[in-house]
Amino acid sequence: MTRRGDRAIRSSATAALAATTGLVALVGCVASSGTLDAPIDWSTVDGSPGESVCGLPAGDQSPPETPPAVTWQERDGVEIPVSPTLGPGDTSVMNRCYAHSPSGALLAAVGLRADEIRHGNGTVIVNRAARTGERLSALVDGEIPDVSDLPHDATGELIGYRFESARDDDVTVSLAWASTTSGRSTSARIRLLWEDQDWKVVMQPSNGMWSEITADDPLDRFVRWGGSPGDSTDARAWAPAARPVR
């Protein structure tokens, strides 16, 4: 039996392939209904090397040893970290346009998780995943699940991050959450590639975004990302209060 989410994803993939001769990934936005806006014409973007698609400078290329200074903004009951220098520069539908730096990649990872909560894994993979052969095959075959790889407990409070690797165009970072119900921690790894002047997630063999999902990972291995209410580094609960988490 084909699920409604599978049909929507297959439809999105077919439209993308027809518009781009089957080789270029779809980069248009997906609204919460699952329908696609017109793809962005990246050829019209005038950005110097290193700049993001919306003109954010690359900035410091060192992985941050302390959390970046951010403010937290809520959309549909989900809060994301926002910085005028790191991004996101566009939150009109999904969180996009981050600085070409490890700090920008860190904020992009958090923004992608927020998009996954709001829109589902399938919508994020269709619109925000790097172009790989595996992703193209999954789009054609309609094999991208809408449900996240992460357990329900991973929608609690963001409490830390750890960089696994950081190269110019390829960053892997682990995030840690504390459950708002059990108090237990969950960590997971996400890999990002710099593509089309923005950070894109690399689809995993599960056709989701996350790998190395671990319960009760020792938190002394992470840079603590939290604080008192009102702090610029305050880690807020991401789970929407009025709707179930995907």
Residue 25 lies in a domain: no
pLDDT tier, 95 (very low <50, low <70, confident <90, very high otherwise): very high
Residue 235 lies in a domain: no
Listed range (80-89, 106-115, 134-143, 182-191) with the worst mean pLDDT: 134-143
Residue 22 lies in a domain: no
Q: Please, what is the Cα angle at 168 between 139 and 131, to 5 degrees? A: 10
pTM exceeds 0.75: no
pLDDT digits (tens, 9 = 90+) for 43-60: 333 444 478 999 999 999
Q: What is the DSSP letter of 30?
A: B
Listed range (27-41, 61-75, 105-119) with the worst mean pLDDT: 27-41
Residue 180 lies in a domain: yes
How many structural domains does the chain have?
1
Average pLDDT, the chain: 75
pLDDT digits (tens, 9 = 90+) for 5-38: 333 333 344 444 333 333 333 333 333 333 333 3
Between 88 and 77, the higher pLDDT residue? 88
Quote the pLDDT of residue 154: 62
Token pair 């909560």 is found at 117
Quote the pLDDT of residue 28: 33
Residue 19 lies in a domain: no
Q: Which amino acid is at 67?
A: P
Q: Do 66 and 2 contact (CB within 8 A), yes or no? A: no
Residue 217 lies in a domain: yes
Instruction: Give the H or E element holding residue 75.
Output: strand 71-75
Residue 214 lies in a domain: yes
Is the sign of the CA dihedral 62, 163, 130, 199 positive or negative? negative
Q: Which range marks the domain in which residue 102 is found?
A: 70-136+148-224
Residue 200 lies in a domain: yes
